[in-house]
Each structure stands twice: as structure tokens, then as C-alpha cells.
Amino acid sequence: MCPSDDPQETPESSQDEPNPNGMLAFETLGKFLEEDDWKPRRLDEKNAYSMLYTSKNGDFRCYAVVRVELEEFIFYTIAPVRIPADVRPAVAEYITRANYGLRIGNFEMDYADGEVRFKSSINFENETLSPGLLRNALYPAVESLDRYLPGLMRVSFGGATPLEAIEEIEHPSETKEDE
């Protein structure tokens, strides 16, 4: 995880008082996560929550972060495996292919440790961060990781090429017809 994106780090405040809009957003986030049954756990008095999400293809560790001073919301959903070093270049190609055309969010991989995550974010500067906006950022993230995880696994551990794996995910009927 990049230090600037670490959910446990928050930007230093240049003011004595926290940004009221950013703090309201963090309160809205906590209430939304509780009411939507995400079972959030606040991270050591930071403006971030950790939670688990169970999908069709795996259990994902998730982080919801409000960068109070910057008025930004960032949501990460983490793949349940670390990518072995020898296949990271192929996985980088796979996630680049997956990212192409995604409308909301993107995949990222940490080359240092093999962590793959999906990130969705909102800049809500001078705007109210609503439950609807939060829902529209969280669910596409977990759904995207769930959709692309089988291909990620095939490239990482099953010998598939990035192109083969993307074709299986994005054009399943075409790959079945070719068999």
C-alpha cells in the first residue's frame, strides 16, 4: 500500500479545527456503513474503517477512508491473495487490460508485496457526501474485484495469459464458442 494512500495515515491539518465538511462526511460514512450492515471497525481513531465483504468469489478486506482536510473519500477492496513476484508483470498486464473501459474506479498492484486492490474515490470538496454517493462508490468496487478475481487467479496461479483471462471474463460466450 502506498504511504500516501495508507488508510491509517491522514494528512496533517494546517488548521487547529478539523474541516467541518470533512468531519460531517466521516460521520455520514460511519452511519452508512452501520445501517448498510458492513460491520465497520474504526482504525485507531483515524478517519478510516476496516471491514470484510463476502462475495461470490471470495472474502475481501475493505477500507473506507475520509481524508478530512482534502474532502476526499477513498474506498479500497483488497484481493484475498498476494501475487507471486514472478507473475507480477503478467498480472500488471491483466489489470491494465481490466482497467481499460472501467467507468468507476481502477485496479492497482503494489509491486513490492504483490497486493492487488480495487480503488474507488470521490472528491467531495464543498459538497455533502451522501449515503447514495457512498453506495455508488462502494458497491462497484467490490463487484469489480469479484468479477475480475477469477481471471486474476488464473493469471497468477493457473498459467493463463492476461489476454486469455480477460477474454474469459469480458467475453465468456465467445470463449465458450471457440472451444
Q: Is the pTM of this model over 0.85?
A: yes
Give the pLDDT score at 26: 98
| Residue 127 DSSP SS3 | coil
Angle between helices 162-170 and 131-157 (to 10 degrees): 130
Give the pLDDT score at 100: 96
Q: 102-136 burial, b if ≥16 CB within 10 A, otherwise e?
A: eeebbbbbeeeebbbbbbbbbebeeeebeeebbee
Q: In order of start, what are the domains of the chain with their CATH numbers?
A: 14-174 (3.30.1460.70)
Give the pLDDT score at 7: 52
Give the pLDDT score at 45: 85
Which residues of the chain are modeled with pLDDT < 70? Answer: 1-17, 175-179
